[in-house]
Amino acid sequence: MKKITIAIDGHSSCGKSTMAKDLARRVGYIYVDTGAMYRSVTLYALRHHLFNDDGSVNTAALQQQMADIHISFRLNAETGRPDTYLNGECVEQLIRSIEVSSHVSPIAAVPFVRTALVAQQQLMGRDKGVVMDGRDIGTVVFPDAELKIFVTASAEVRARRRYDELQQKGMPADYADILKNVQERDYIDSHREVSPLRQADDALLLDNSHMTIDEQNEWLMQRFTERTRS
C-alpha cells in the first residue's frame, strides 16, 4: 500500500486534531499538529509580552526572537499521542487555554511566522506517510497532497465542544466567551492576507456537526483506503 500525504484543514474547534491523531495512529503515519505550533508561538509571545495594548502583535520584537522559539513533538507513552514541547517544556495543556485561543489568530497572520513554520512543516512531511492538520495544509503547505479534507461544523457546536473539553480538564470556561472567540477566529482566519483559511478545490468537505467521533473516524478511514488503493 503506497504512502500518501493527508492534509486536514478546517475551522477552529471542529475536531481536526483529534481526527488526525486517531487516523495517524490507526494507519501508522506521523502526525503533525500545525495548530499547536502556532499556539506555541502565541504562548511564547504572551509570556514575553509581545502583544500591544490593542491586542496586535509587536512584530518587530517577535521577529528578533523567532530564532529562540523551538517547537517539537514527543510521543506520550500513556496517551499514545504526541505532546507539544516549547523550548523543551511540555506545553500541550497550556496552549489549549482560552487565553492562547484568543491571541493565536493574530500570530498566525504574521507573514514571517507562517514562513518559518511552513518550512518546518514541509520538512516534516517530505517523505510522505504523514497526517497534518491546520488552516492551509492543502492549499499552501502540501498543495499536492493525495488526500485533502476540509472539516467544518456550526460555530455553536464547535463552541460547545470546546467548552466541554475545558470543563473536563478542570479549566475555567464560559460558553458565551468561547462562542465569541470561535466566531472571531473564523473571521480573522478567513480574511487574513497571508494564507487565508479556505477549502482547496480538490478537498473533500466533512461537516461533522452531527457526527460522533467514531462515525467521522470511519468516514475518514474509508477515504484513506480509497486513496491508498487507487
Share of the chain above pLDDT 90, in %: 70
Q: Does the model's pTM come out above 0.85?
A: no
The pLDDT tens digits of the residues spanning 57-105 come to 999 999 999 999 999 888 888 887 789 999 999 999 999 998 999 999 8
Residue from 41, 17, 18 nearest 120 by CA: 41
CA 215 to centroid of chain Cα atoms:
21
For 106, 134, 182, 185, the CA distances from 193, given in Å and listed in that order, are: 11, 17, 19, 14
Residue from 151, 170, 157 nearest 216 by CA: 151
The pLDDT tens digits of the residues spanning 14-56 come to 988 889 989 998 998 988 889 899 999 999 999 999 999 999 9
- Dist CA 132 CA 142 (whole Å): 9
Edge-to-edge, what's the strand order for the sheet holding 89-90? 71-75, 82-86, 89-90
